[in-house]
Amino acid sequence: MSFITTSDILKEAEAIRPDFERSVHKLAYEVKGILFSEMLFIEAVARIVGATRLVESGTARGQSTVILATRFPHCPILSYEHDADSPDVAVARARLAGLPQVELCFGDAVRELPRVVTPTDVVLIDGPKGFRAIRLALDLLGYCQPKAVLLHDVGRPSHERAFLESAFPGAVYSDAPEFTHAHHSLDTGVEEAIPLEHRYGANPEQTYGFSVGCLFYEPHIAYRWKRMQASWTGFWTRSCDSIKKIR
Ligand SMILES: C[S@@+](CC[C@H](N)C(=O)[O-])C[C@H]1O[C@@H](n2cnc3c(N)ncnc32)[C@H](O)[C@@H]1O
């Protein structure tokens, strides 16, 4: 696959936005959910790479799942949730009723996804978080070779984002200024869900929203080596943060 850039995603997002808005304008926003503008970014990626199945980790109340199912009505969707006893499950089930292409699965995605992901899938990880999510993404890219893995909550400034930017210069992010400038208006009405410092225009050093990062599968990348680097960086940054807290 050739190199996919932010401009490719911008072009695709611009083309699909009118239809996206028509489909999602009646959908309510559920707490913990991925923002509408971030879902547009995810959809643009999935369309560019030609995903034939979507695999999601972290269903919660089904905000991202219901948008994916609405926008990809003919595409099978597997959505994994760790916490089968959460009250969120009933909310997700109610929202997803009548969307037969969605299969709700329960279990730890860290164990389950490597068993089910295939090379024609696009994967969205929105739980686990942090370096655990990055390690899962790299395991999937190394062993299952999906077309792309999208990681939610990799905003700036964070250790995770710094790692991704240095280890994966080809990664693209929904908080790219051109993208947020063009599409933050999709989140009008749900600003309260966004922490003050991450609202549009609040602080140029910080990400807009929560940010989605995308790693495309590239055969020449040594994912197992990068995975070791992620483990080490995660351990090191956690240790440094603990020492700072003690002082
Ligand atoms: C932020 S919420 C997901 C929100 C959802 N994607 C949406 O847009 O509405 C994160 C969810 O991930 C789940 N989770 C955390 N770790 C997980 C794991 N290892 N496997 C599967 N689900 C996990 C949590 O229980 C929680 O429900």
Q: What mean pLDDT, rounded, does the chain reach?
A: 95
Residue 47 Cα to ligand 1 middle (Å): 23
Residue 166 Cα to ligand 1 middle (Å): 26
Residue 244, pLDDT score: 82
6-246 has which CATH code?
3.40.50.150
Task: Decide whether any atom of ligand 1 lies within 6 Å of the 38 Cβ.
Answer: no
| Ligand 1 atom with least separation from CA of 83 | 25
Q: Residue range 61-77: average pLDDT? A: 97
Q: How many CB atoms lie within 10 A of CB 145?
A: 16
145, 217 in Cβ contact below 8 A? yes
Residue 242, pLDDT score: 86
| Ligand 1 atom with least separation from CA of 88 | 27
Task: Report the alpha-carbon distance of residue 168 to residue 150 in Å, rounded.
Answer: 13
Residue 2, pLDDT score: 58
Amino acid at 40: L
Q: Residue range 228-244: average pLDDT? A: 92
Residue 52 Cα to ligand 1 middle (Å): 22
Main-chain phi, psi angles of 106, to 5 degrees? -120, 140
Main-chain phi, psi angles of 158, to 5 degrees? -160, 155
- Is residue 1 scored above 70 in pLDDT? no
Task: Decide whether any atom of ligand 1 lies within 6 Å of the 108 Cβ.
Answer: yes
Residue 6 Cα to ligand 1 middle (Å): 26
Residue 34, pLDDT score: 98
Q: Residue range 55-70: average pLDDT? A: 97
Residues 165-191: pLDDT tens digits? 999 999 999 999 999 999 999 999 999
Residues 140-155: pLDDT tens digits? 999 999 999 999 999 9
Residues 106-128: pLDDT tens digits? 999 999 999 999 999 999 999 99
Task: Report the alpha-carbon distance of residue 91 to residue 97 in Å, rounded.
Answer: 10
